[in-house]
Amino acid sequence: MSDRPVPSGRVAITGVGAVTPLGTGVDKFWSRILAGESAVERITLLDPSEYSTQIAAEVKDFVAEDWLDKKEARRIDRFIAFAAAAAQMAIQDSGIQLTDELREEFGVLIGSGIGGLTFLGEQHRRQIEGGPSKVSPFLVPYMIPDMASGYVSILHRLKGPNTCVVTACATGANAIGDAYHIIKRGDAICMLAGGSEAPINELGLGGFCSARAMTTRNDEPHRASRPFDKDRDGFVIGEGSAVFVMEDYDFAKKRGAKIYGEVVGYGMAGDAYHITQPDPEADGAYRASRMALRTAGIRPEEIGYINAHGTSTYYNDKGETQAIKRAFGDQAYKIPVSSTKSMIGHTLGAAGAIEALICILAMRDGKLPPTINYETPDPECDLDYIPNVARDAQVSLSMSNSYGFGGHNVSLILKRGE
């Protein structure tokens, strides 16, 4: 841009979009989160009768043709379509004018933990049944996780940094944090950032069932995801996407944008322990939280809400509780914590972005979402988990935690908009 602004060092969130198991569109999703509704039901995207887990949190109201060309909507993988829709919502919500000049300074960073697993499974079946000539030439581009970013960049002709992060279930949080740094250091003025995932297919379900990581409470789907509850027995798989428009703060103010909030802290650390199990000492999760607090330049007692990773697995919930207590000391018992995975399941690479969105909306409206299905306290999980009913509270700073297979730990700190 001819009048390219000097980076302000602050990064604002000015537009939001979401495709979730509780609804397509931010308003629908948020109202149902505050109502404590569960999106978990018997799987309809495939016949689950042969699987040990037969329930999931599916996106039921999404129509790809509402957001994309009909031919493209039929062809691309579901995770790409989710990201394209969420990005379109975020751009519209931000009110930003995409001039040719701005497009050169506008980047995209939408991650996915798995990528186009449904498309991969379909094409593998075609090869087995009809030979290699039946495999689509679009297999590779629609399978790879970076194609959500690539596709959105092409749709809107955004020519700034175009990249992707893949850190399993920490992906969405890493994408937002990395976009924050890109803008802060002046490599872009604006970024579309978030995560997208569509893992509810034969391969995805089969893999997680074999890993014995998911709940088998098939007869009680709405009660199956129960983070921090003593009777938890595994996570519920989900799908969806959330995308933010993030901008240099001064640029956003100058153009008169509404500002939902700011990203002010970002911490990440590795467990270096195991490919799937978290470190039993929760050291990486603790260090990610401390780094986020340090980079934000705030004291632990200033955090008013934590959206937990809270998967409803024994080791995660115990470890995260331990990490929060270690990072916040006695203050940990005074901070409201909730896991919204109790309502929408675990959306894997999209989770960190969806949960950051929840933090922003909670601060905007002064309403903290509940952890539903919290019925039997676990002595090892003894914090204030906002059980079952949303709570009114004015919060200026919140933390969102995300952890992924491979030992990835991420904490974001978000600030309420002015």
Burial class (CB in 10 A: 0-12, 13-18, 19+), 295: middle
Spatial CA neighbour of 342 closest among 228, 212, 239:
228
The dihedral formed by the CA atoms of 164, 166, 167 and 168, expressed in degrees to the nearest 10: 130
Is residue 359 flagged as an active site residue? no
Strand extents, DSSP E, 184-331: 190-197, 240-248, 261-270, 305-307
Residues 28, 19: contact at Cβ < 8 Å? no
| Tokens representing residue 356 in the block | 């950051």
Is residue 156 flagged as an active site residue? no
Residues 57, 21: contact at Cβ < 8 Å? yes
Q: Which of 169, 209, 359, 381 is catalytic?
A: 169
Residues 170, 137: contact at Cβ < 8 Å? no
- In whole angstroms, what is the distance from residue 161 CA to residue 240 CA? 24
Q: Which of 164, 190, 209, 346 is catalytic?
A: 346
Residues 68, 76: contact at Cβ < 8 Å? yes
Is residue 346 flagged as an active site residue? yes
Spatial CA neighbour of 368 closest among 338, 324, 328:
338
User: Hey, CA dihedral for 220, 310, 89, 258, is it positive or negative?
Assistant: positive
Q: Which of 164, 190, 209, 309 is catalytic?
A: 309
Amino acid at 21: P
- In whole angstroms, what is the distance from residue 231 CA to residue 84 CA? 38
- In whole angstroms, what is the distance from residue 139 CA to residue 111 CA? 18
| Tokens representing residue 32 in the block | 């149902």
> How many C-alpha atoms does 387 have within 13 Å on its Cβ side?
12
Residues 6+ apart with CB under 8 A from 124: none
Active site residues: 169, 309, 346
